[in-house]
Amino acid sequence: MFHSGSSVYPHFAFSDNIAQPANDLAPDPSDADSFNILPVDDINSAFPMGIPSAADEIWNLLSQDLLPDSHSLHASPNFLAELGISADPLFQLRGDSAAEYLQKDNQASPHSELLLDRPDFEGPSLATDGIPPDTQGTFALSMTNTMIKQMSASRPQDVAPLTAETLALCLNIFWTRVWPTYPMIHPSTFSLGTTSAPLLLSMIALGSLSLQNKEIRRQGEYLWKLVNRSIQNNWEQMIESRGPYDPCKGVQLIQTLALSLIYAATSADNSIVNAACISIASGFRWARLAGTLRPENTNRSLILQPGEELDEFGLNNRWRQWASLEDLKRTLTTIYLLDCCLALISDSPSYAKHLSNPVGNIWDDEATYLAKNPNQWRLAIEASRDKVPILSLLPAEHIYQYLVDRDTASDPDLARVPMMNRQTILAGLTALVLEAEQAGSTHSILGSAQLSSIDSALVRFHSIFLNHTTDPRSKSVLIGQWHHTAILLGYTISRRKGLSGSSLWSNPLGRHLLLHANAIRHNSESIHIGRAKVAHLVQIQTLYMAAVVYLDYVAAHHSIKGYSSLNAYSLNQETDWENLNSALGTCICHDNPSTLSVSPHLAAAINFLASDAIPTVSGLPLGSQDIDPLIMVLSGLGQIYPLARDSADKLRISAGSARE
């Protein structure tokens, strides 16, 4: 139960065992440096060489209403007074002509290596030409003084005015830490001057999460609320906006929605989560009205075909059109995933029709997406063409059919479906489980309205995708998400069978849930919190769910009697999931499996499921102390994500109660 009073989790048997934290409970103190989080008490210390010119440009564009959809943030032209930003024009920006853009695009990059894992990646260049250095030096001080004088009464009085350097810092953090985890804005074609004001503020709000400065985080939260109000009240105007290379109208509105939902899905504030649920319900309607869900718009092929030749101007246009389309597909794919994430942490249902998802696969090649100019893009396409599946334009709705199909002929092609699309497919299966839990049955293409059909689809998913995921970070995220879905399915099946408490944990189904939770515990060791990029938000839910399973088991086994090493099963060993799935499914859907023709390791796991053996960790019976590693990782994630901190606090109290 991520949010007290609003969750689908109270419907499950384990919810009453999770205590709520006291209001004055502070998270465990931790060294921010150990988690590679930027502690900023003095903003100027983040800019030892002086305020970057990007700060001037951001401030100037916002303060003069120069960005698209600026006025959508408020009914009056002076909406930025709410942020304390002056509306007095200070600088005249010089727009780049198409020829200048083309010339810059074709300049050789000083960095040829890939950027997603580089800690020094600074995102697109935002420097402004033609601003006098002496003006830059006095800019922040003069604007801060002007801000203080122009603060609007509608702005909460406990939120300090924003400064130019704060905006620039948060935007820089977005590009260096947040964007690599959620790459939905093409960095090489990104233009600050053509970015809508709500989208820019959403980027800044997300960047604020990675700073260990409470005031900046509160400013980021206020920015989020301002943007959310903007898109709810002014979507009819925003949806009409269309860039010169966009495949349809409303692209930046959908991008703003996606970034807003990421922020909300990591929040511990119920009001933000509930507002986001309203936004996502509206968002799918906006997407349909804008045409972003039409196959002729979304699934066009703009990749250069073998032997296709274009002149310099045509190649530049094709590259920019492809980048805009790729951003749209990545954005829509992320929204489908976030739809499920928000459904898990709120009272709201899953609003997306996952089994009718028309969005095709993204082009999952880092070098192609990060190409800095059209020529680099063309070369990257040729180098990556063999890595992209033949099914690259196949809508997600068709992949579900493959998961229930016994024909494995297409498995090699499916195995190359991109990571973002895999997560969305798995989120669709999770949404079916939630639907079954809420409605009592599953009405879908997945068989005779039976949960066993979802179980079979999960088995196929593991075989096709997890066994063919080579990137360690991607595999860590996907493994946790898969086990999380299997646990949700298991709890739903247990409710159908009337199993709870000791009757559940003495049943093979409950013991199967323990193995899934244990797999998440093992997987948590691969979550590198100290990396330059932030962890994926789905890892919060997977860690929390594993801890819930452990606590549910411990609550039903306050004391272990008759324990001996001869009657124990060590959870220190990892499970052979591929073969266990083949023998039993993900949640015991096959009866009385034979252990005669399996390996001793797999036979031991099957015997554990069917016996009364005591699960142990490091030689001791499984207890509340064994969720401490999960709490530790959640606390680390809590340095960035409020929801993770809140989840760790709840688990810490529950574990303490279980030890009394």
- Residues 573-615 have pLDDT tens digits of 989 898 898 888 888 655 555 554 667 778 888 888 888 889 9
Six token digits for residue 9? 């989790």
pLDDT digits (tens, 9 = 90+) for 609-619: 888 889 999 98
Total tally of structural domains belonging to the chain: 1
For CA atoms 111, 116, 120, 124, give the dihedral sign. positive
Q: Which tens digit of pLDDT belongs to each residue from 153-194?
A: 344 555 566 777 888 889 999 998 899 999 999 999 998 888
Q: How many CB atoms lie within 10 A of CB 295?
A: 12
Average pLDDT over residues 248-261: 96
- 562 in a domain, yes or no? yes
Average pLDDT over residues 53-78: 62
**What is the Cα gyration radius of the chain?**
26
The range of the structural domain enclosing residue 588 comes to 469-659
Residue 63 CA: distances (Å) to CA of 17, 407, 408, 635: 51, 59, 58, 38
pLDDT of residue 15: 34
Section 389-408 average pLDDT: 79
pLDDT at 274: 92
Q: Is residue 80 part of a domain?
A: no
Mean pLDDT rounded to a whole number for the chain: 76
Q: Would you state the pLDDT for residue 380?
A: 92
* pLDDT recorded at residue 601: 76
Which of the two residues, 362 and 129, has the higher pLDDT score? Answer: 362
Residue % of the chain over a pLDDT of 90: 38
Report if residue 15 sits inside a domain. no
Give yes or no for residue 48 having a pLDDT over 50: no
Among the ranges given (107-111, 197-201, 452-456, 611-615), the one the predictor scored with the smallest mean pLDDT: 107-111
pLDDT surpasses 80 at 447 = no
- Residue 407: which pLDDT band, with cuts at 50, 70 and 90? confident
Query: Given this model, what pLDDT does residue 560 score?
Result: 55
**Residue 130 is assigned to a structural domain of this protein:** no
Strands (E), 394-549: none
Give per-residue pLDDT as tens, 522-572: 999 888 776 667 889 999 999 999 999 999 999 987 655 555 666 889 999
- Tokens standing for 350? 């899953």
Is residue 584 situated within a structural domain? Answer: yes
Q: How confident is the model at residue 384 (pLDDT cuts 50, 70, 90)?
A: confident
Whether residue 163 lies inside any domain: the answer is: no
pLDDT band of residue 338 (cuts 50, 70, 90) is: very high
Please state the rounded mean pLDDT for residues 32-56. Answer: 44
pLDDT confidence of residue 559: 53
* CA distances (Å), origin 227, targets 93, 142, 222, 223, 316: 25, 26, 9, 6, 32
Q: Which parts of 251-350 fold into alpha helices (H)? A: 251-265, 270-290, 295-298, 312-344
Confidence of residue 629 (pLDDT cuts 50, 70, 90): very high
- What is the reported pLDDT for 439? 67
Asked if residue 554 lies in contact with residue 623, where contact means CB atoms within 8 angstroms, the answer is yes
The more confidently predicted of residues 536 and 53 is 536
71: confidence class by pLDDT, cuts 50, 70, 90: low
Is 435 a residue whose pLDDT tops 90?
A: no
Give the number of other CB atoms < 10 A from CB of residue 542.
27
DSSP string computed for 81-122: GGGT---S----PPPPPHHHHHHHHTSPPS--S--TT-TT--
Residue 583 pLDDT:
84
Query: Is 612 within the bounds of a domain?
Result: yes
Domain membership flag for residue 248: no
Mean pLDDT of 269-298: 92
Would the pLDDT of 6 be above 50? no
| Residue 149: predicted pLDDT | 37
Q: Provide the percentage of residues in the chain whose pLDDT is more than 70.
A: 70
Residue 87 and residue 63 in contact, taking contact as beta carbons nearer than 8 Å: yes
Q: CA 192, 257, 232, 431: dihedral to nearest 10 degrees? A: 180
Do 283 and 342 touch, CB atoms closer than 8 A?
no
Tell me the per-residue pLDDT of 182-234, one tens digit each, with 9 for 90 and over. 999 999 999 888 899 899 999 999 999 988 888 899 889 989 998 998 899 88
The confidence band for 391, taking pLDDT boundaries of 50, 70 and 90, is low
**Dist CA 162 CA 141 (whole Å):** 12
Tokens found for residue 242: 């269309």
Mean pLDDT of 419-431: 93
Rounded average pLDDT over 465-482: 88
Over the stretch 122-149, which tens digit does the pLDDT of each residue have? 445 333 333 344 443 343 333 333 333 3
Q: pLDDT category, 516, cuts 50, 70, 90? A: very high
Residue 392: pLDDT above 80? no
More confident residue, 66 or 244: 244
Q: Say if CB 79 and CB 211 are below 8 A apart.
A: no
Q: How confident is the model at residue 450 (pLDDT cuts 50, 70, 90)?
A: confident
